[in-house]
A = this chain, B = another copy of it.
């Protein structure tokens, strides 16, 4: 039993400052809730001389992360540096030293999860990471704590606020990708270099973690089939709406007989689906269990305050166990190295948009190519004829087809003299 629990920080950006400020402000409440005083011991930052947004107790700041880890009065290390460089080394060192670690680091957990869990287990330490996915929305805990009796069948999420903000503006205002991105950057929702978000990498880290927890199978981020949103055009949103769909960047993981298929790509989602109404910077995750059915968790997926809510949930839970004299280990289970499947095995409906020569017989040619690939057409729209260039735009929706058949047919279509370009290919996500 501990009456006082020492907390150390690695990193002190926006989130770190909010976590520390909340720890200091709510000390009395947290003592009541955990049974122990949470005491801020050490904070490692790159430049200890830089001015901070909060007043830290004297002598707490250091420029050396090893001092936080090596301080015997630090029981819980909160890592808010991010990335898998220095942060990874510090987290490994902290766990090896038997410190309990709370992290918001999605990249590190997605890449090195199984190794870190083994390290934590071997050293009697807890490794907690609720804040790594979904900001303030509980998604890690539900997968581990609330659904253990279920066979998890599928996870489907809108888990990147930047891209959801951009897609919402493209859908509601008819903006181009470039304009919507510029606005997101202006508002601070997108980084100056937006690659990590708009190319789907951030979402891939997050679905890799969720897939690991849900299926007990390690899905390394590079095994997540990942497509971003750069190629989407305003007319895709119009066609989608006319067909009764919205376009969302979805992160999906499904259990198949052969293994786990994890993917991140923009998809057409029926308007009636709960996820279709998750707009702007909101996030939402759906988990389908064989007992619980489909559960949807929705809220703010980013921001300093929501992330603080998640970081402190983990800190307080570990602290409560320590205060009671219990082991705060909270085991995410052994992740098997299972088969990660590719998109080739997917079977769904597909939306295609292409630029074609504006002349009779073109649609017949396209239908013939698709038909020979066993892909049948469910709906077609042709419009926006460009008289000068003699081209027209054609959008079509297929019936259910195999991904390999569709991508093969697209290759053939690209060789047709009548087809100038296949501009977009989007998968349709069926209703839950």
Contacts and interface: CB of A to CB of B under 8 A. Distances in A.
Contacts of A137: 292, 295
Contact of A293 (B141, B149, B300, B312): B300
Per assembly, the copies of the chain total 2
Contacts of A315: 149
A104 to B, nearest CB: 14
Interface in A19-73: 22, 26, 30, 32-33
Contacts of A296: 296-299
Interface string A266-278: 0000000010010
A145 to B, nearest CB: 6
B295 A295 contact: no
Interface in A335-360: none
B150 A146 contact: no
A45 to B, nearest CB: 22
Interface stretch (A172-180, A207-215, A241-249, A302-310): A302-310
A22 B146 CA distance: 16
Interface stretch (A109-117, A325-333, A374-382): A325-333
Interface residues of A, number: 49
Contacts of A22: 149, 291
A148 B291 contact: no
Nearest to A304: B291
Contact of A150 (B148, B294, B309): B309
A222 interface: no
A386 interface: no
Contacts of A298: 274, 295-298
A291 B148 CA distance: 28
A306 B327 contact: no
Interface stretch (A6-14, A316-324, A391-399, A402-410): A316-324
Given A297-B297, A321-B326, A309 B149 contact: yes
A294 B305 CA distance: 12
B30 A149 contact: yes
Contacts of A16: none
A148 B312 contact: yes
A221 interface: no
Contacts of A326: 321, 326-327
A147 interface: yes
A367 B355 CA distance: 62
Contacts of A149: 22, 26, 30, 308-309, 312-313, 315-316
B299 A294 contact: yes
Q: Which of A22, A292, A303 has the most CB of B within 10 A?
A: A292
A98 interface: no
Nearest to A272: B277
A289 interface: yes
A284 B310 CA distance: 21
Contact of A141 (B130, B146, B306): B146
Given A33-B333, A277-B274, A293-B299, A317 B145 contact: yes
A217 to B, nearest CB: 14
Given A22-B149, A148-B313, 4 more contacts: A138-B138, A138-B145, A291-B308, A296-B297
Closest 4 CB pairs of A and B: A149-B312, A136-B292, A291-B309, A292-B309
Interface of A: 22, 26, 30, 32-33, 130, 136-138, 141-142, 145-150, 274, 277, 289-300, 303, 305-306, 308-310, 312-313, 315-317, 321, 324-327, 329, 333
18 contacts: A136-B292, A137-B292, A141-B141, A146-B310, A148-B313, A148-B317, A149-B312, A149-B315, A149-B316, A277-B277, A290-B305, A292-B299, A293-B300, A293-B306, A296-B296, A296-B297, A297-B298, A324-B329
